[in-house]
Structure 1
Amino acid sequence: MDFFEVVNPHVSELTKNEHLLFDYVVKNLNEIKNKSIREVADDCFVSTTTFLRFVRKIGFSGYSEFTTVIKYTILNQKKEEKVSPFVVSQKDYREEYLKNINESVRVIDKNSLITVGAYLKKKPIIYLFAKGMNKQLMQYAKYLFVAAGFLVVFPEDQSMRAVVQKQIKSDDLVFILTYQGKDEEWIRLMQRLKNTAHPLLVSITGADNNVVQNMSDINFYMFTDELFLNKMEITSHVSMLAILELILYQYLDNAEEGEYHLVFK
């Protein structure tokens, strides 16, 4: 049992104060796993009754199950990445590859696309957040949106992200790319933004239910096959790129006549 899988369905139901408790828990999983409920409650400046009520609200029967699942989650995260069971022919893989892209585009919610496109008409500052191989996708996304006349901020390392997030305002637009959707840094980032400026939070994640997906104002999800080569992930994220392009095309489709010189060849 994974901690984030348990809490996912309940995150959207939390009050502002409970979100603060959740934020503390996510940031301090390693410390909490060995503490008593009284110690954790003291650290959060709440009563043990309040903290126990919170633990039950996020899906646990009690504090014992809460810490047990945290220990299991941390232990599981430290295990060596599993080898991908990718043993299909190139022909079969090409077919699955195209199916994943087609399905990712097919299931896009049109209303969500229209909402983001309309928000872009306000010319917000666009903030991009991504790690690992998604950073290359975000570089391309930055190129696209800058070409369309937007001011785009893409902090690529953690120290810059810590500085930049303090500059985000309520009328800005934030894009987060994360396939797994349970990265602790992104959860903390979204928690902070929801409790302060609360810009429009748009995420692109995997199709599985996840924390980032549930914390987003708008989520687009993609389908893909997870692949690893020599213990390095080479999972295709091309569907994320397709979604980003469609968001921009939606905006351009509703732009004022003469605003852009757009040529189709």
Structure 2
Amino acid sequence: MSLQSRIHDVYPKLTPSEKQIADYLIAQSDAVCSCSVQKLAQDCGSSAPTIVRFSRLLGYSGFPALKMDVMLEKRNETMDETHDIVENESASHLIRTIYRHRLNTLEKARELLDGDTVEAAAEAIEKAGAVYLCGNGTVCLDFVQKLCQIGIRAIYTAEQQILMASLNSLQENDVLIAISYTGEAESVLGPARIAKEKKALVIGISQLGKTSLKHLADLMLFVPMEANMNRGGAIASRDSSLFVCDAVYLSLVSKNLTENKKKLEMVKNRMDQE
């Protein structure tokens, strides 16, 4: 995911001083490739620690990672061929558009996904007494089914009142997976607050930026924001969130591959008998 795309995703929530840094990075991206953090801070009227914090806000480990990303981007620039759909667009053209949009979304999601955080999430789920899920229904249903198939005690309901009641059983060694594209949905923030009160671990999945969910989560996995296609946000949220959950699931499966293969085979055999 390009630096410009990352900045675009978080820009509305930036402070005036952060916007000043963001504006400079977009306007002077060529200069970023060859300057130090001290020189960049001087040029955009900021400080070196602020530049480092801003880099981390964008999902980088620090300024060197941001700088490396800009250099790679300059070397491998590609055109984004996605666009808004128009009235009476042909089905064949829509198919191509959807295909390109999905590829673009998944590529951005891949670039945002941090391997260490994925492994940490998988390890936490493996050790949890129970895993509760809340948020995007399609994604939660898919993930809870996969977790149950490998013997993880996973709990999800689309009924908010039942979900809140079930959280009375939440224990300190449990995990809550909160999935919200905006990171601001109260249906996700409410359970996350309860989990924090009960000292359970919270794994958040939302778009990049300073969201309320990010402040509540112990581990954050980010998805990109899309706004260049009708229902683009909903499409990107579903596709990229499924991708993130699949990455965590496969990391979890691989930790005990032989045993988990046996469990999956047993599930398949039971389904074949029905």
TM-score range, shorter chain: 0.5 to 0.7
Q: 1:19-168 maps to which residues of 2 (within 5 A)?
A: 86-87=84-85, 90=94, 91-92=96-97, 94-130=99-135, 134-168=136-170
**1:19-60 CA-partner distances (Å, limit 9, x unpaired):** xxxxxxxxxxxxxxxxxxxxxxxxxxxxxxxxxxxxxxxxxx
Cα shift at 1:148: 0.8
1-structure distance, mates of 2:141, 2:111: 25
> For the residues of structure 2 that align with 1:95 and 1:179, how far apart are their CA atoms?
21
- Corresponding residue of 2:240: 239
**2:179 partner letter:** L
- Per-residue CA deviations over 1:217-252 (Å, capped at 9, x if unaligned) read 1111112424556xx974331110111111011011
* TM alignment of 1:179-258, pairs within 5 A: 179-194=181-196, 196-226=197-227, 228=230, 234-236=234-236, 237-255=238-256, 257-258=258-259
AA of the residue aligned to 1:86 = D
Q: 1:5 to 1:167 in 2, by over 3 A?
A: farther
Equivalent-residue separation in structure 2 for 1:165 and 1:254 (angstroms): 28
CA contact (8 A) 1:173 1:199 kept: yes
Q: Verify the 8 A CA contact 2:207 2:222 in the aligned structure 1.
A: yes
Whether the 8 Å CA contact 2:113–2:221 is kept in 1: the answer is yes
The whole-number CA distance in structure 2 between the counterparts of 1:260 and 1:135 is 26
Could you say which structure has the greater relative contact order, defined with CA pairs below 8 angstroms and 6 or more residues apart? 1
Query: 1 CA distance for matches of 2:14 and 2:127?
Result: 37
What do you get for the CA RMSD once the two structures are aligned?
A: 2.8
In the aligned structure 2, how far is the partner of 1:5 from the partner of 1:165?
A: 31
Q: Which runs of 5+ in 2 are unaligned?
A: 1-11, 16-82, 87-92, 266-274
2:199 and 2:137 mapped to 1: Cα distance?
23
SS in 1 for 2:139: helix
Give the C-alpha shift of residue 256 in structure 1. Answer: 6.2
User: What is the CA–CA distance in structure 2 between the aligned matches of 1:106 and 1:179, rounded to whole Å?
Assistant: 17
In 2, the alpha carbon distance for the partners of 1:234 and 1:246 equals: 20
Partner of 2:226, secondary structure, is coil
Q: Distance in 2 between matches of 1:221 and 1:193?
A: 20
Instruction: State the Cα distance separating 1:191 from its structure 2 match.
Output: 2.2
The answer as to whether partners of 1:121 and 1:255 remain within 8 angstroms in 2 is: no
Q: CA separation in 1, counterparts of 2:100 and 2:257? A: 39
Contact 2:85/2:230 (<8 A) preserved: no
3-state DSSP of counterpart to 2:251: helix
TM-score (norm 1): 0.59
Q: Distance in 2 between matches of 1:254 and 1:228?
A: 39
Structure 2 SS opposite 1:124: coil
In structure 2, the CA distance between the partners of 1:179 and 1:259, relative to structure 1 (3 Å rule), is closer
Task: State the percentage of identical aligned residues.
Answer: 11
- Secondary structure of the corresponding residue to residue 235 of structure 1: helix
CA contact (8 A) 1:228 1:234 kept: no
Distance in 2, Cα, partners of 1:140 & 1:111: 23
Report SS of the residue matched to 1:144: helix
Secondary structure at 1:176's aligned position in 2?
strand
CA displacement 1:111-160 (0-9 Å, x = unmatched)? 11111122233253110101xxx212211111100101111111211211
